[in-house]
Structure 1
């Protein structure tokens, strides 16, 4: 069976959640606090108590349309699907679910894997002389709804009991044959550990699963030439092993499997392997995953991905199905992001810059814990702003499913046509983030406890003089950066795509392309006119010379700070990352914070 439609209302903080046409893999995503876990608990509570309550009242929240996926369901229901808003059909579901299942080959039911599923201490198994086959034993109808923590002991005990039962059965058969005069027997029995061995190798290879030590009651694995107990695996490896072994033991088919935050404690690659492994176990299972994982969301867009938004006005539907194509997905892709980032928080700040991952760390240190509601994400270099108007209209200028996006960029991201910051897109007033690390007094403070005597690092004047000398040494490079960017912005992308080409014959098409090529060449030649370029270089060089000639810090806004700070660190014989960390601490203790502009920008994002 599989859920075709979910309708849920007033499961705080979820007010209204309606989604249909669900596929075999359903990913429900959303930031913390929107109610994903509350929603799944409400759904599971219904499956534990389907149909009318003890007072005979028919419950319709949440409600489902459940589709049959095999003949046994269709035969038991006398219907291809059940609508739980109809009392008679809800009772049919109740009677169908409340039947005990076999421990192995679990069919036509619901399984649940909770977010807090760390393997706990297992009580020892008490062996009997007549150990029944645990594969054939029944478990209560709601056993699989209790979560993995409540099942792991049963899983481990079932493995030990199965091996002991098989040994006893083989021994008894050998005795029977011997008593009948036979001196040999066929060894055609199968190893019940094969599916566990295969899953272990797929998930945790090159480690392999070893033969369990029944009398010691230990599950073992082999790493290299040595054998260890599974308690020596990492916490993530133990968790994925517990999930996989529990699932393989049940070997479910035609079941609905709920999985709350499968990415917890797992590396993205290990999570991907786990989901792939589980989907190959049994037949026709439906997986409903509640997640924050951007990777899992983005890799599931060909299935069903549902974004749970914060509550909407007039109790609007908080379930938004995300399609694999569209302007939003394309715009986020141009920002170096996947649509999966919508699960990370309600306010997302995209950090632009060629070293955006490092910049994210630096920004985080600067603002510390002042704005916990903001999630910072690197978005790559300034080339990602080539389609800024589309990005602004599709992402930055609107709230997507209750999520607000912001962007903070280095000053070199601004162009002649897009030079001004907006409420959601802010550009630093200085060329690079590193330009804010050039305050001579704070640099001096960084070295007070580490330098002695007449070191130039203990003099504001000498530090300032050294910074200016470094700036002059990179003057040609600075001019080249500015001039080449202006020319690149003016040239833009070359496009020879003619308009209205759908109905053109070959002759008209050739003519149209030729005209576009001539027009583009003329446009580019105008921008690249030698005299114009020469004048631009001379003017820019003179501007930088003038900045260095006047006794002010204005030059620190215009020169590329990355190169200047890097050379300063070389001359001070200090590691750049260490100096940055120390500089930020000293700046936060100073009367005037050189990062105040940045703090104000983040404050405006937080208040938006």
Structure 2
């Protein structure tokens, strides 16, 4: 069976959730607090006792002939009381453990295993594959049935050995002296899945006497309990799944990424979807990676509660305009699941900057989620960025962007860009975030308790002189950076696309495109004329040198602070990360605070 439509009304905090056309893989996403887990819990509860319920209604498609025969039709809708009864009869029928068909499998978010009691072997061991199990066994959650999974694995091996010995005794009584030994390994599917998940580790045969499962790694035999927490979790889930061997089932999985490395969560999902046939997976997740990887299936965001009766279910596809706009920034629509207010940090070292911003603000702005963004087309796609991302609230999530000063050329007005974005975009006044770490008074306080009396690192004037000397050595490099950025922006993109090019011959097309190329060549040559370049360099060099010689603070804004701070930390004999942490601690106690400009930006974002 497959759920094709879900209708939910008044399941707090969800007021209205209505989605149709669901595929075999469904991802339900949304920021914290919108009701994702609550929605899944109510769905599981409803499936345990389907009725004509006003709060939850399902449309289900049959995925096998036995379902069509049981229902008398290929689709049922639980708004119809008779159809709800048909679903109830199917879900509440007991099943063989190894043939978990046309049911629901629930894997909850709390998957921690606290204790496994030893299994007590009896003389007559029944193969667990042949056991009939209560219909609601898989509704109770993974944690409740894990002990049964481990015990069942031991019993499978025990029953398998009993079959071999029984056959050997029977053949001996018949006077046979030979026996075929091509018995299938009962642990083969478990070994294959284990290899797929955590290679190069290999699952070994079970030790029944010690009741232990082991694996081999680099010639050593190790207990399964020595796996990492993430490896243990995915192994436990997959072993449980293999033992049930579900088919035509609805598998409800809350937060598959919990406690897992992204690559391991991806392997887990790939392994599960390859077990059994015709299963539908409904995942509830915060993971942008899982959301993005599932865009070709059914991805549904739960938006915030709106006006009465307005649908909170928002289907998302690969060609969604918002998704395309976020791609320009090196992001995917999946980041919307991260929080209520997302601040995209634009810059060459955005990932490291996120850590620095986090250290500065700690818990001051709990609603803001910082996301590094590596897209470098801010100016080229500025109108698209504003219209599709920054200028609106997307499904209840607001976007902001904070850029290093080097993101835009000096010729552009930073305040004008902020105004155009209605305050959603801010560009730092300084070249890098590290440019705010160059205040000599703060640096002197950092070293006051670390350096002996008389050390240059305890004197603000001495520190300033060293910083200025470093900046002076970097003047020509900095002017080169600004010159390159300025003329790259002035030249813009090369446009060779002619008008009215349909129905042209090759010769005609060559002629009009070459003519266009000549025009572009003339434009570019005029723009990067040597006189223009020389004047720009002279102006920039004078500005840099004047700032250093006249001892203004302009050089702290214009010259790349990351390089200055790295060189300074080397001269001071302190690792740059340690220096940053100590600087932040002193800065947050100082008045004025060198980070005031940044604090004001975040306060504006947080309103």
**Structure-2-length-normalised TM-score:** 0.96
Per the alignment, residue 319 of structure 2 pairs with 325
1:190-246 Cα distance to aligned partner (Å, 9 max, x none): 211110111111111111111111122212212222222211111111111110000
Per the alignment, residue 132 of structure 1 pairs with 126
**1:309 corresponds to which of 293, 303, 308:** 303
Shift of 1:505: 4.6
Structure-2 change in CA distance of 1:259 and 1:382 (3 Å): same
Question: How do residues 394-543 of structure 1 correspond to structure 2 at under 5 angstroms?
Answer: 394-415=388-409, 416-417=411-412, 419=414, 420=416, 421=418, 422=421, 423-543=423-543
Distance in 2 (CA, whole Å) between partners of 1:116 and 1:500 is 63
Q: Does 1:245 align with 2:225?
A: no
Cα contact 1:119–1:238 (8 A) shared by 2? no
Q: Does 1:290 align with 2:284?
A: yes
Per the alignment, residue 54 of structure 2 pairs with 60
Shift of 1:557: 1.9
Distance in 2 (CA, whole Å) between partners of 1:290 and 1:381 is 28
1:561-602 Cα distance to aligned partner (Å, 9 max, x none): 222222222322222211111111110111211001111111
Cα contact 2:379–2:408 (8 A) shared by 1? no
Distance in 1 (CA, whole Å) between partners of 2:289 and 2:240 is 25
Distance in 1 (CA, whole Å) between partners of 2:156 and 2:564 is 69
Secondary structure of the 2:138 match is helix
Per the alignment, residue 49 of structure 1 pairs with 49
Cα contact 1:336–1:384 (8 A) shared by 2? no
**1:151 corresponds to which of 138, 145, 167:** 145
Structure 2 segments unaligned to the other structure (5+ residues)? none
Mean CA deviation greater in 413-422 or 134-143: 413-422
Distance in 2 (CA, whole Å) between partners of 1:503 and 1:298 is 40
Per the alignment, residue 192 of structure 2 pairs with 198
Shift of 1:188: 3.7
Cα contact 2:257–2:287 (8 A) shared by 1? yes
Shift of 1:554: 3.1
Secondary structure of the 1:59 match is coil
Structure 1 segments unaligned to the other structure (5+ residues)? 52-57
Secondary structure of the 2:588 match is helix
Distance in 1 (CA, whole Å) between partners of 2:361 and 2:79 is 51
Per the alignment, residue 340 of structure 2 pairs with 346
Per the alignment, residue 364 of structure 2 pairs with 370
Per the alignment, residue 5 of structure 2 pairs with 5
Q: Does 1:233 align with 2:227?
A: yes
Cα contact 1:60–1:84 (8 A) shared by 2? no
Per the alignment, residue 65 of structure 2 pairs with 71
Structure-2 change in CA distance of 1:424 and 1:192 (3 Å): same
Secondary structure of the 1:144 match is coil
Per the alignment, residue 383 of structure 2 pairs with 389
Distance in 2 (CA, whole Å) between partners of 1:317 and 1:48 is 26
Per the alignment, residue 566 of structure 1 pairs with 566
Shift of 1:413: 1.5
Cα contact 1:406–1:605 (8 A) shared by 2? yes
Per the alignment, residue 544 of structure 1 pairs with 544
Mean CA deviation greater in 303-312 or 170-179: 170-179
Mean CA deviation greater in 453-462 or 139-148: 453-462
Cα contact 2:329–2:376 (8 A) shared by 1? no
Mean CA deviation greater in 437-446 or 326-335: 326-335
Per the alignment, residue 95 of structure 1 pairs with 89
Distance in 2 (CA, whole Å) between partners of 1:538 and 1:354 is 27
Mean CA deviation greater in 89-98 or 172-181: 172-181
Distance in 1 (CA, whole Å) between partners of 2:520 and 2:332 is 34
**1:160 corresponds to which of 154, 167, 191:** 154
Shift of 1:354: 0.7
Distance in 1 (CA, whole Å) between partners of 2:110 and 2:586 is 41
Distance in 1 (CA, whole Å) between partners of 2:375 and 2:129 is 57
Per the alignment, residue 181 of structure 2 pairs with 187
